[in-house]
Amino acid sequence: MNNILVIGAGGVSSVTVHKMAGLPDTFNNITLASRTLKKCKNIQTSVKNKFNIDINITELDADNVNDTVNLIKKINPFLVLNLALPYQDLNIMDACLITNTHYIDTANYEPKDEAKFEYKWQWDYKTRFEEKGLMALLGSGFDPGVTNVYTAYTKKHLLDNIDTLDILDCNDGDHGHPFATNFNPEINIREITSDSKHWENKEWKIGPALKNKISFEFPEIGHKNMYLMYHEELESLTKHFPEIQRARFWMTFGDSYLNHLEVLKNVGMTSINPIKYKGINIVPLQFLKNVLPDPGSLGKRTKGRTCIGTIITGTKDKSEKTFYTYNICDHEKCYKELGSQAISYTTGVPAMIGAMLMINKIWFKPGVWNIEQFDPDPFMDLLNKHGLPSKTIELNNKLNF
């Protein structure tokens, strides 16, 4: 029996669990665990109503390694799918090592007390996973995740060599709120207020956050302002494709969003440094998270589409070529299918696909791996089958910015 333990019960988890429940031959025993049992119950009820499938739910504080170990021993899963907070990655990996259980996640580790994220901490687990014959798959979301697969696919089928890589993430969704984030506000705001960083000429170039702006015409959406920022897949892709001369990540933001963010930053609400309020230490950003709209509530009111993809220039048979591979995802269609907005959908579906490939032993090798280190073809095929079809076009010229 293919037991799987899913930790975390946010919007991404809801999509992933629903997609798993629709494939009972692969995922025939699902346990969902979260600190907030009510969220698990809501997903459990929705899955039952949609698929007439019963999933198990339980309460879990994933910060506590012993509690996670005890739960894993109780249900004996083949795989733990970590959809909790990035702060908890290492604790959950420790629990998997203790219990001899395979591991997968969608976002890399970051410490609570520092707005910094990198793969080093998780890569350091490689030998321990290898020695136990266990596999850990890192970053099986969209970006990171699908964008890594797009890069590997382009290298395998379209180019002999990659010179430049640009990852473009556009969300043209409108939820009607003055200010809200499309996934966990604490993680989202920490990420976008960090310094920008990109790879060029074999070194990292660091700049101010949200200052380098380019207007780009996205397929089926039109012109949008996108901003240079750092994203974790740049770290692994430049390591595993060392010929890359320049790698950048761009994300779109509207003026209203950036104005709100600037005000919140100026008054200290995006800080992760604790302050004392009525004798209690609170973290301003964690407080802000609790007063902003829950990302899981945005699906029913969000309209528009996302467009996320890679533009890669390199050589093929000694000729320079540029390919744009991307996905268009419609917020309203996602809500109609699973009660989700597209941001959760585009992460939740790849999480399910990564788990499926591991369970079916299509992607399976002891150690700690990033998603681009495996054959991209099975993943690309499953994206097309499960709601995230991709399109590749050849551009006439490489990017001029």
Least reliable range by pLDDT among 111-125, 191-205, 382-396:
111-125
**Residue that wins the pLDDT comparison between 268 and 228:** 228
How do residues 49-103 score in pLDDT, each as one tens digit?
999 999 999 999 999 999 999 999 999 999 999 999 899 999 999 999 999 999 9
How do residues 157-201 score in pLDDT, each as one tens digit?
999 999 999 999 999 987 777 777 766 777 778 788 889 999 999
pLDDT at 263 over 70: yes
pLDDT at 216 over 70: yes
CA distances (Å), origin 10, targets 84, 130, 192, 235: 8, 31, 20, 26
pLDDT at 269 over 70: yes
Instruction: Note the pTM of the prediction, 2 decimals.
Output: 0.93
**Residue that wins the pLDDT comparison between 112 and 211:** 211
Q: Residue 285 has what pLDDT?
A: 81
**Residue that wins the pLDDT comparison between 181 and 2:** 2
Q: Can you say whether residue 32 is alpha, beta or left, with left for phi > 0 and alpha for psi between -120 and 50 degrees? A: beta
Least reliable range by pLDDT among 165-174, 255-264, 336-345:
255-264
For residues 101-111, give the mean pLDDT. 93
- Classify residue 215 by burial, with Cβ atoms within 10 Å: 0-12, 13-18, 19+: exposed
- Do residues 15 and 345 touch, judged by C-beta distance below 8 A? yes
How do residues 270-317 score in pLDDT, each as one tens digit?
887 888 888 888 888 888 888 887 776 776 778 999 999 999 999 999
Residue 75 phi, psi dihedral angles, 5° rounding: -100, -15
CATH architecture of the domain formed by 3-138: 3-Layer(aba) Sandwich (3.40)
Residue partners of 281: CB distance under 8 A and separation at least 6: 274, 275
For residues 333-342, give the mean pLDDT. 94
CATH 3.40.50.720 boundaries in the chain: 3-138
CATH 3.30.360.10 boundaries in the chain: 146-342+389-395
Q: Residue 41 has what pLDDT?
A: 98
Question: How many Å apart are CA 136 and CA 125, to the nearest integer?
Answer: 9
CATH pick for 146-342+389-395 out of 3.40.1000.10, 3.30.360.10, 3.30.390.50, 3.40.190.10: 3.30.360.10
Average pLDDT score over the chain: 93
pLDDT at 386 over 80: yes
Q: Residue 286 has what pLDDT?
A: 83
Q: Compute CA 189 distance to the chain's CA centroid, rounded to the nearest angstrom.
A: 15
Q: Residue 193 has what pLDDT?
A: 81
Residue partners of 325: CB distance under 8 A and separation at least 6: 150, 153, 154, 309, 310, 312, 390, 391, 392
CA distances (Å), origin 333, targets 119, 120, 277: 34, 37, 43
Q: Residue 317 has what pLDDT?
A: 96
Q: Residue 183 has what pLDDT?
A: 64
**Residue that wins the pLDDT comparison between 117 and 367:** 367
